[in-house]
Every structure is written in C-alpha cells, then in structure tokens.
Structure 1
Amino acid sequence: MKNQKKITNVFYISLVLVLLTVMLGALFPQGFGEVTGRINAFITRDFGWYYVMLSAVIVAFCVFLILSPIGKLKLGKPSDKPEFNIVSWFAMLFSAGMGIGLVFWGAAEPLSHFMAPPTAEPKTDEAFKESLRSTFFHWGFHAWAIYGVVALALAYFQFRKGEPGLLSHTLRPIFGDRVEGWFGTIIDVLAVFATVVGVAVSLGMGAQQINGGLHYLFNVPNTFWVKVIIVVIVTILFLMSAWSGLSKGIQILSNVNIIIAALLLISVLILGPTILILNMFSTTVGDLLQHFMYLSFDVAPLNEHKKDWMSSWTLYYWGWWMSWSPFVGIFIARVSKGRTIREFLIGVLMVPALLSFFWFSVFGTTAIQMFKKVPGIGELAVELQLFAVFKEVPMGFGLSLIALALIATFFITSADSATFVLGMQSTHGSLNPPNSIKIIWGLAQSLIALVLIYAGGLNALQSAAIIVAFPFSFVLIMMMISLYMDGNRERMRLGLTLKPDKRFRKAQPPEK
C-alpha cells in the first residue's frame, strides 16, 4: 500500500492515452496509418525548419555550457564523487542511447544512402562518401546533444537542487510551484507518452529484424503473427526481469550486450574490407566536420529531391532522438552524479558519437562493398539486408547468429530499463516503483509496438516518433532556459569564472 500511494495522475492519464492509441491502431489500422502519415507529412513540410534549427541550437547550447563557467558546476554536492569509473560510464552511455537501432541500421542506412543519396549520383564514389557522412550526421553530435540536455537538466536539478527525478521539476526556475500542479502533470504525461512511443519504435524494429533474420536463415515465415510471437516471448522475458528489480541477472545481461556488440564489430572489421573501413572512417569524420555547419541548418528549400529525402531520414531521426530523450536522459542522469557539467557534456557528446561513427564505418562500408558484388542485396527489405551482407562474408552464418543474439539482448534490456523509467515518471520519481506499475508499462510498450507494425510497418513507426516529438520539443526548449537560469545564478553565487580550476578552488565560498 505504501507504494500504491505514490501512483500519480500522470500514470492514469498516460495509460488512457496509450490505450486509446492501441485501440485506434488495432480497430482502424489503415485509417490510423493514413492519419499518422498525414500528420507526419504536415510536420515535416511546415515545421522541418523548426526541427532542424532546434537540433542545431541544442548542440550550440551544449558547446556554450562546456566553454562557460557554468561548466564547472557539479551534478551533486561538493563532496559527491562519480559512482562509476570513466570506462564503465562511457559503456553505459553508448549502450543506453543507441540499442537496437545500431544493429537495425548498421548496414541498411549507409546502403540506402548509397543507392539513393540526397545529392550525389547514385552508386558512385561520391555517393559512397555521402552515404557515410549522412549516417554519421544522423547518429552523431545532434543525437547526443538532445540526450545530453535532458539528462543534464534531470541530473542537475535532482542531485544538486534536491528535486524529484521528474522532467516537470526541471522547469521550476521558470514556473515555480506550478510544476507541482496540473501544468507539471501535462509535462510528465508528455514525457511518459514520448517514452512509450519512442521505445515502442525500437521494439518494433527489433521484432521486425529478428523475424527477418529467422526468415533469412531458417525460412521462418516473415509475417505479422510471427512478430506477435516474438514480441510475446521477449515481453515475458523482460517482464520477469522487471518483476525481479535490479537483479544480478539484468546486470549480467547488460554487460553481455557490450561484449556481444564488441565481438560482432571486431569480427566484421577483420572479415570485411578492413583497410577500406579504416580509410573511410578517417575520411568521413573529416568530411563531416568540414560540412557540419551547413548540414546542421540545411532544409533544402530549393531541392525537392533532397527535401523528400530529409523528411524520410533527417527529420525522422531528430524526432526519434527527441522521443527517446526522456528515457535515455533519465538513465544517463542516474549514472552521472558527481561529475561536472563540463565533464558530463564532453563525455556525452564525444565518446558515444565517435563509437557510433566507427560502428557505421565497419558495417556500412562492408555492406556497400558486398552490394557491389551482389546488387540483389539492395532489393531486400531493410530488416533482411544485414543478414544478406553477412552471407557474402566469411563465417557469415555465425555472424548472423551473433547479430540475432545482440538484437534479442538489446530488446530485453531496453524494454526492461524503459519499464523502470516509466514507473519512476508515473510515481512521482520513486526510485522503487511498484512492480504492478512496471508490468503495466511493459505490456503497454509491447502493445504499441505491435499496433504500429500492424498499422503500417516501418512507415507508421517513423510517423509516430516524429509526431510525439513535436509537443515534447517545446519542453526541451524550456528545459534549456530553466537550466541556464538556475545554472547562471549558481555561477554568480559561487563567483565562478573561466580562470583555472585551482585558483577557483582557493577562492570558492562554501556551498550551502
């Protein structure tokens, strides 16, 4: 009963919204897909500039905080030390932020851009370079800046200011005690709904790729009902984990994720075109840095082909990162206590982005080279392409089995972590939400994933991510304003400047 009292209106309102979405998608799949498609088209057509500029501003805001005296503030009290060493912290950042998406798109996205690039002639050397540059751009600094802003605001207000771990309470400097009332409830409902849909997108992709892999390797039918069976089995597994709490089992599984991912990455690097992979990685990083400012603001107003391409790719990703940011932000915030804002942002922006760049260099370069030998790979469904690429690589069957295992473990750990985060958000930031609440959210995520697949496959998934991110984007803006307001007050109170830290520590007044 004690835990039951913690359940807030956020839980009931969010659950009703999720159930309505499930019912509409299940009863009217064609109409649901058409409506989400129209809303998505409206947002990308009339507000694409807004998504692009907001993402660029978020990156600039992170860089500003790194360079400003505010960056010296600690996420916690003066005596707080980081709970995790730097290597473990980087590993958790990487695994939390990308998950199934890395495996799903590792080969498919660079290959898709190679066949249909935004500006270059398809299937040329220029298209090869542009395909990797575009993929790096989508999975790089902008994604981690969006995650970083949400995580930073949560960690700052929770560990330094003593607020509960709720997104609404990061806005107290702007709205005061109104974050405790209906206004705060709306913010937290948006965060919960964005998390449910964002994670459901990932789970839907995982189910599609597991089914695709089983079909390609073992001729298992690639149908909706097989995906239902996959989702049901995985749901049972992650609900068992959620029921047991933060047990040793889920900790071991999280570590296994990293080990399997590293094994797959190194194996493909060695068995694929190794020297070309390393050359493309180096060249494309430089290419991205050279074009970074232009890409960050370009909305292709006079190029209809690129504008359509951006609607399917760039704008979808900016929406996806925003819809995932409450979930990933809460997780990153929890493991970042005791670090300075500067250390936090440098770590969040740089290390996971560079690891993602290398991942896509390995899988993307290998996929494009195999496609040149076997053009039929490009005609396959997206979820089948990775396994078709492995078929052309030595020890390909073994690589496919490793990939399936990695997708499954990412599937389970992502869903398990999301149930915990959703439980926290709907029980006023409780660090131990009731098991019943976690089970309900686990089932809701799986139902949304199945409805999205049923209503239109990947297109419905993409549309849902972009739509739910639109209202949440305004929360992101307010979080940046709120964080700067309070951070600047703290900086002025402590007399922080850009002078070296040693001199600062000597003159630092005691924190209250």
Structure 2
Amino acid sequence: MSDTGIPYPEGPTNIIETDYEIGRDNVQRKVGPLSFDVHNPVFAISGLVIVAFVIITLALQNDADAFFTGLRDWLTANLDWFFLIAGNIFVLVCLAVIVLPWGSIRIGGCDATPDFSYSAWFAMLFAAGMGIGLMFYGVAEPIGNYDAAFGGITVEDGTRTDWAPLSGAEGDAEGSRRLAMAATIYHWGLHPWAIYGVVALALALFAFNKGLPLTMRSIFYPVFGERIWGWPGHVIDILAVFATLFGLATSLGLGAQQANAGLNFLFGMPDTDTSRVLLIVGITAIATLSVVAGLDTGVRRLSEINMVLAALLLLFVILAGPTLTIIHGFFLNLAAYVEYLPALSNPFGRADDNFRQGWTAFYWAWWISWSPFVGMFIARVSRGRTVREFMIAVLLIPSLVSVLWMTSFGGTAISLIGEGFTDITEAALELKLFAMLSHLPLTTITSFVGIILVVVFFCTSSDSGSLVIDTITAGGKVDAPVAQRVFWAIFEGLVAIALLLGGGLAALQAAAVSTGLPFTIVLLLGCYALVRGLMTEPR
C-alpha cells in the first residue's frame, strides 16, 4: 500500500513481458508465428469496427466525402477552444515534472540502465514523432502563415481577414515573417511534444515502475483501480486503438500524396488516386517486413536511416539556401515564438478563426490521436532514464530540431518568394517542398532524397504504429505473435486508402479530429493519474 492509498505490485516487475487474462493473473504463453494470442474484447471490437469502416467508406465514396468534410468543419469550428485549453494543460504538466523533485525518479527503478544509446534513442524519438508531417508542412505551413500575416486571407463567404490585430504589422514583410514562423513553431514545438511526453511518461511509469502491463488502461489504475481489467479498461484501450490507427492513416495519406506529387514532378508519374493507392500498398508491404523483423532489427534501423537522410537534406538546405539568414533566423524565430506564444495559445484570443480552427484545432487533435502510438513507442525505448532526463529530451530536443527544420525549409522558401519566385506560393500543398528545392542546386538529387524520406518516414510510422496497436490489443504483451502485427500493418494501409478515396485531405483531417476528441478527455484524466503515480515513487 502506497502513501496515497493506491496498491501496486511490489516493486518493478517483468509483468509486461508476460500476458494477463482479465485481471492481474499472469501466465507465460508460447504461440506459433501464425497464431493469435488475444485475451480480451479489445482486439475483436477494434478489428471488426475498422474492417466495417473500410468496407462502408469504399462502398460509399461520394457520401463519405461530404460526411467527412462536414464533420471536420463542425468539430474544429465548435470545439477549437477545448483542444487549445487541453494543449496548454499538457505543456504545464510537463514543465512541472521537469522542475519538481519528481524529476529524479528513474524509469524502471533505481538500478535500471538505458536500453539504447543517446543517438539511437534520439533517432527513434524524432522519427516516430514528427516524420511525414515535417516533410509535408515544412515549406507549406510557413508560406501559408506568411501570406495570411502579410496580405490577409479571403474566406469562403468573401470577407477578408488577417492577423493585423495580432501582429500589428500588416504589409510589413519582416513582421509578417516573424509571425509566420512563430505560428509554425507553435504547431511543431512544445505543445505536440508535451502531448507525447505526458502519455509516454505515464506509460513508462506504470509499466516499468509499477509492474502493470504496457497498455493505455494501466495509466488509469489510480482512478479506476481493479476495474481497469474490466470494461472501463477495455473502452480506454479501444479508444486508443482507434485514435492511433486513424492518426496514422492521416499521416500515411499525406505521405502518399506528397510522394506521388514528387514522383510526378521528377519522373512524370501520374498524380492520380490509382498511383497513390499503389504507393500505399507498396510502402505498407515494406513496413510489414520491418514489423516482422521487430523493434531492434527493423524499426531501429529504419529510424537511424531516417535520421541520417533527414540530417543530410537539412544540412544541404542550410548550406545551399540563405545560410546566414537561416542561422540568424533560428534565434529570431525562437524569440518570436516566445513573444507570440501567449496570444497564439489563447483559446479565446485575437488570432483569426481560420488559423485557430483550420490549423491549430486540427493539429492538436492530430497529435492527440498520435499520442498512444508515439507515447507507447517512446516509453518502450526509454527505460533507464530519469524522469527529468526523459522529459527534457522528449519536450525540448525534438522541439529545437523542429524549429531548425522549419526555419531552414520555411525560411528559405519565404526568402525565395521575396526574390520573385512566386511559383512556390502557387504550387499545390504537397508540391511546395519540391517547388522550393527546384530553385536550389542539385534539384533532382535533393527531390529524390525528399521522396525517399517521405517513404521511409511512412515506413517507420507504420511499423512502429503496428507494434503499438498490437501491444494494446494483446493486453500489454510486447512479444505477441507476428500474425497480429501483420494484421494491423495491413489495415493501417487499408484505412489510409479508404480515407484517401473517400474524401482526400478533408477525410484524413476529419479522421484525426474525430478520434482525437474523445481521446483528449482520456488524456486529461491521464494527467491526474500520472501525478498520483509520481507521488507514490521513491526519489
């Protein structure tokens, strides 16, 4: 019995390496590679609902398009304030964990040692957390924000809005650049990584320190007690599966669009739904092979390849682009981010509705829908770190890398637009990266590297997500049969195809927002459970 009255198993255990029936009775089970090892309703309910969703969406593509567009617009227009408030709470919880004495707690117990080196750990953190999004929006979002801040935007009813009340610098190129980069960093900095950090730390604490299974339900033991082994726990895990699968499908759909656009730009490959479906099928097959290879062999190697390729492309843009402007801009953009953060994160503030609803609410829901996947993946590779070390690494280091990435790609694109290369602005969303690279040396090589990065990010997201979903549906078992992992890897691709054909970008965004909404409530309750759990740990 802990000092807060919450009973846990005595000390860190290896319970996560076994399995459990409904309850805390644990048994070792040996299963064949083609077997399924399922002990609760989570797998059956999740699998059946997702299979039905794929079939219905593919059968009713025209109706699905209107439905998804309306769903996305209603959710972001009416619940933007809720997503923003939740995001702010997650940041405050993470900062508190860093500065409070809880930071000295070691994940896995006092004698635990890290499973991975810093370089391998950072590579897996970064590849799992942001991947395709940085490639898709690295040029597109800064340009979109710059256009809105500088010249205003026209919305569907014909009225004109701008950020002049927020920036005070309408028509001022430098002021608009600062606001555009601050707004971009806001979406890719502390807030998304705080969402991941809360989930990852809670999962790691309750699995490695409290001896509970590595699954979402375990976080809520301080709230529900033994009931987490029953339907309250099943519902939490089912929501986690839906959020993870549809969040991943959103990313996979975006990645397929961008890879197709890049191949069309370089080699004339038709930019059609058929091409995008074939890309998803091919890349899902690669991801499935990586899943079969496992965490150490497949996922880690792909993550490290990702890290090297991304670093090379980033270095090229810095050297071939306006180098001094990028280096100077990194610090200026950080300062602008700090300056504008209170206004941008104010759910009832003066930033225009298009920005808050069309960008921020979607992003927060997307990150939240990714949080079971990224959080569980980070938890699995972070045993042996102290809570403070863990949170600083998860919260600050990837945020700084994201700032550098957005400054390099977005800042270069804005500079090129200032020199008269307006084709970057006019390019489609998925083509803006390649339009920017076309004005730098070695266009063919760098564009091809960009396509490879999208594909590899696609694979790391898919295989990591499959491992995580499989762990959830197997009740926290980290070595479930290969057949289950293959099942989820295939269905991630099928859901992405269904969404892409059933509504395109609007459907992808609607899936992320609609699954992110209920899980936001789950995560807010999880913050309370995390604090209760930390209070019971010896320091």
Q: 1:270 corresponds to which residue?
A: 319
Distance 1:228 1:474, change over 3 A: same
- Identify if the C-alpha distance between structure 1 residues 177 and 346 changes in structure 2 by more than 3 Å, giving closer, same or farther: same
Within the alignment, does 1:119 sit opposite 2:148 as a pair? no
The match for 1:57 is 89
Deviation for aligned residue 1:7? 4.6
Among 138, 156, 169, the alignment partner of 1:106 is 138
Shift of 1:434: 1.4
* Aligned length, in residue pairs: 489
Alpha-carbon offset, residue 432 of structure 1: 1.2
Distance 1:394 1:486 in 2: 53
What is the CA distance between 1:486 and its match in structure 2? 2.2
1:479 alignment counterpart:
526
2:359 is matched with which residue? 313
What secondary structure is seen at the aligned counterpart in 2 of 1:232?
A: helix
2-structure distance, mates of 1:70, 1:413: 32
Tell me the distance in 2 between the aligned counterparts of 1:95 and 1:430.
Answer: 23
Aligned amino acid, residue 215 of structure 1: N
Listed one character per residue, the Cα deviations across residues 152-173 of structure 1 (whole Å, up to 9, x for unaligned) are 0000000000000010111011
Aligned twin of 1:378: 425
Instruction: Report the AA paired with residue 357 of structure 1.
Output: V
- 1:41-85: CA deviation from partner (whole Å, max 9, x where unpaired): 232222211111111011011111222222222211111122223
* CA offsets 1:235-262 (integer angstroms, 9 cap, x no match): 1111122223346354333211111001
C-alpha offsets along residues 92-111 of structure 1, whole Å, 9 cap, x if unaligned? 21221111111111111111
Counterpart CA distance in 2 for 1:183 and 1:97 is 28
Runs of at least 4 residues off by over 6 Å? none
Map of 1:260 onto structure 2: 309
Identify the residue that residue 215 of structure 1 maps to in structure 2. Answer: 264
Taking the TM superposition and a 5 Å limit, the aligned residue runs for 1:235-250 are 235-246=284-295, 248-250=297-299
- What one-letter code is carried by the residue in structure 2 that aligns with 1:133? A
The question of 1:332 aligning with 2:378 is answered yes
SS in 2 for 1:4: coil
Q: Which residue of 1 is the match for residue 111 of structure 2?
A: 79
Q: Deviations over 1:476-495 (max 9, x none)?
A: 011111111122233xxx4x
Aligned to 2:403: 357
Of stretches 311-320 and 232-241 in structure 1, the one that deviates more from structure 2 is 232-241
Q: Which residue of 2 aligns with 1:11?
A: 43
Q: Residue type matched to 2:455 in 1? A: A
One-letter amino acid matched to 1:433: A
Higher helix share: 1
Distance in 2 (CA, whole Å) between partners of 1:111 and 1:316 is 18
Aligned to 1:411: 458
Alignment of 1:182-193 (within 5 A): 182-193=231-242
SS in 2 for 1:57: helix
Equivalent residue for 1:393? Answer: 440
Label 1:341 to 1:362 Cα distance change in 2 as closer, same or farther (>3 A).
same
Cα 1:394–1:24 change in 2 (3 A) is: same
Identity fraction in percent: 38
Cα offset, 1:329, TM superposition: 0.3
2 CA distance for matches of 1:289 and 1:125? Answer: 17
Counterpart of 2:529 in structure 1: which amino acid?
S
- The CA distance in 1 between the partners of 2:399 and 2:362, in whole Å, is 18
Q: Which letter maps to 2:387?
A: I
Query: Residue deviations 1:9-51, cap 9 Å, x none?
Result: 1111111221222123212223223222323223222221111
Pairwise CA distance, 1:375: 0.9
Contact between 2:261 and 2:430, CA under 8 Å: does it hold in 1? yes
Tell whether the 8 Å contact from 1:59 to 1:142 is kept in structure 2 after alignment. Answer: yes
Alignment of 1:407-486 (within 5 A): 407-486=454-533
Secondary structure of the equivalent of 2:76?
helix
Secondary structure of the residue aligned to 2:474 is: coil
1:6-45 alignment to 2 at 5 Å? 6-45=38-77
Given that 2:291 and 2:298 are in contact with CA atoms closer than 8 Å, whether structure 1 keeps it comes out as: no
In structure 2, what is the equivalent of residue 147 of structure 1?
196
Q: Deviations over 1:384-437 (max 9, x none)?
A: 111111111111111101111111111112111111111111111111121211
Residue 251 of structure 2 aligns with which residue? Answer: 202
- In 1, the alpha carbon distance for the partners of 2:527 and 2:297 equals 36
470-479 vs 84-93, greater mean Cα deviation: 84-93
Alpha-carbon deviation of 1:264? Answer: 0.3
- Cα distance, 1:473 vs structure 2: 0.7
Contact conserved, 2:280 with 2:493, CA < 8 A, in 1? yes
What is the CA distance between 1:200 and its match in structure 2? 0.7
Tell me how far apart the structure 1 counterparts of residues 364 and 298 of structure 2 sit (CA, whole Å).
33
CA distance in 1 between partners of 2:187 and 2:300 (Å): 29
Task: Report the 3-state secondary structure (helix = DSSP H, G, I; strand = E; otherwise coil) of the residue aligned with 2:485.
Answer: helix
SS in 2 for 1:297: coil
Letter of the 2:363 counterpart: Y
SS in 2 for 1:83: coil
Hey, what's the Cα distance between the residues in 1 that align with 2:297 and 2:197? 28
CA distance in 2, matches of 1:269, 1:362: 6
Letter aligned with residue 477 of structure 2: S
1:122 Cα shift? 6.4
Identify the match of residue 79 of structure 2 among 36, 43, 47. Answer: 47
Q: CA deviation at 1:326?
A: 0.4
String of CA shifts for 1:417-467, please: whole Å, max 9, x gaps: 111111111111111121211111111111111111112221221121111
**What per-residue deviation string (whole Å, max 9, x for no partner) do you get for residues 493-512 of structure 1?**
x4x5xxxxxxxxxxxxxxxx
Whether contact under 8 Å (2:206, 2:533) holds in the other structure is no
Please report the TM-score for the alignment, with normalisation by the length of structure 1.
0.92
Aligned partners of 1:208 and 1:227 also within 8 Å: yes
> Where in structure 2 are there 5+ consecutive unaligned residues?
1-29, 150-161, 165-169
* 1:179 maps onto 2:228 in alignment: yes
Give the distance between the partners of 2:77 and 2:252, measured in 1 at CA. Answer: 27
1:292 aligns with 2:345: no
- For the residues of structure 2 that align with 1:271 and 1:138, how far apart are their CA atoms? 26
Indicate if the aligned counterparts of 2:124 and 2:300 stay in contact, CA closer than 8 A: no
Q: CA RMSD in A?
A: 1.7
1:469 to partner: Cα distance: 0.4
Q: Structure 2: how far apart are the matches of 1:7 and 1:164? A: 13
Preserved contact between residue 264 and residue 399 of structure 1 (Cα < 8 Å): yes
- Is 1:282 the counterpart of 2:358? The answer is no
Offset of residue 315 of structure 1:
0.8
Distance 1:122 1:171, change over 3 A: farther
